[in-house]
Amino acid sequence: MRHRLLRRAMPLPPPPPPPPAPRTPGVAGGRLFSSLPPPPPLQSRREVHVWYLLPDEFNDASQLKMYMDLLSPSERKTALSMNGEKLQKGAVLSRALVRTTLSRYTDCKVDPGSFEFKKNKFGKPEILWQSDDSKMEWPLHFNISHTSSLIACGITMDSPIGIDIEEKKRKTAKNILSLARRYFTPSEVDYLAKMPDPDAQQKEFIKLWTLKEAYVKALGRGFSGAPFNKFSIELATKNGIRISVAPKAFKDSDPTCDCLSENWQFALAELNSSHYMAVCVEDDSRSLDSGNGRLPLGLKVWKTVPFVEDTLVSGTEAVTLIS
């Protein structure tokens, strides 16, 4: 008798799960962040936009991972090599702020994670544009500054920029005048020495230091390439902040002075009630100004949590213009 082997129909295996969606900047932990809204256009070379954030407000792990994903492999390696979680977070936020801010000024045509950078011989970072980036009508310039409690990025169009921020209550290990004699010019030391109030003296010292940092960063040289005692900052002038450099005879004997010039313009402000902020850009207003003074530097400031919230704080108590 022939037996027929009957097979019971087996259920089909469930279909494999769909592949994960490609990672999109702005999505983390299942929460959709808003896009990067474009800012008002930079209208001239004398206009500066500053975007800042407060690292202590960033504690969500998925959000920090999203910012980490924007960084290049070398930036991630540098950030993770920092000693301690706080420094690592600051390094990640610093690079993420640069990338997201720059992306805004391309109308988000360039993804924040796509930017590449190069450094000049003094270490100042610049954008490395690719050959197909002809859509950029004017070159963007940027500069970054940070303390443990605040990170700021300045942006200009077609003009070098330097920005520096310092905590107003920054403590110094040495006497203010001792530091000034070591790093500043004689005229700046005299300016500080005439102040009988130690608190006022310290505040003016920090303002001068912040302005000098912004200047040498705008030059693209930093402290080593443009020592602070080779130029003077004049705060108490009716026409705003001025810079003076050594006479030509002195400059000829010191090659570090070759890069110094007086054709720069400054803005000095209190930021977030806790920091001094100095911005320095090239001054092209003299040729456009019909009077004897300079055209004012246009400054707009935003506080940001990239992909989440942007707040224009210019004209509020968060930004107090000093000069």
| Structural domains present in the chain | 47-286+294-322 (3.90.470.20)
* Confidence (pLDDT) at 82: 94
Question: Encoding tokens for residue 102?
Answer: 């720059």
Residue type at 235 in one-letter notation: L
Using CB atoms within 10 Å of the CB of residue 188, give its burial: 0 to 12 exposed, 13 to 18 middle, 19+ buried. Answer: buried
pLDDT of residue 214: 95
pTM (2 d.p.): 0.83
Dihedral-angle region of residue 48 (phi above 0 means left; psi in -120 to 50 means alpha; beta otherwise): beta
Contact 68, 60 (CB under 8 A): no
- Residues 125-164 pLDDT 10s: 888 887 665 555 558 999 999 999 999 999 999 899 999 9
What DSSP string runs through 275-293?
Answer: EEEEEEEE---TTT-SSSS
Name the token pair of 162.
């330097």
pLDDT digits (tens, 9 = 90+) for 247-264: 653 444 555 556 688 889
Q: Using one digit for the tens of pLDDT, what is the confidence trace for 45-68? A: 889 999 999 999 999 999 999 999
Confidence of residue 34 (pLDDT cuts 50, 70, 90): very low
3-state secondary structure of 43: coil
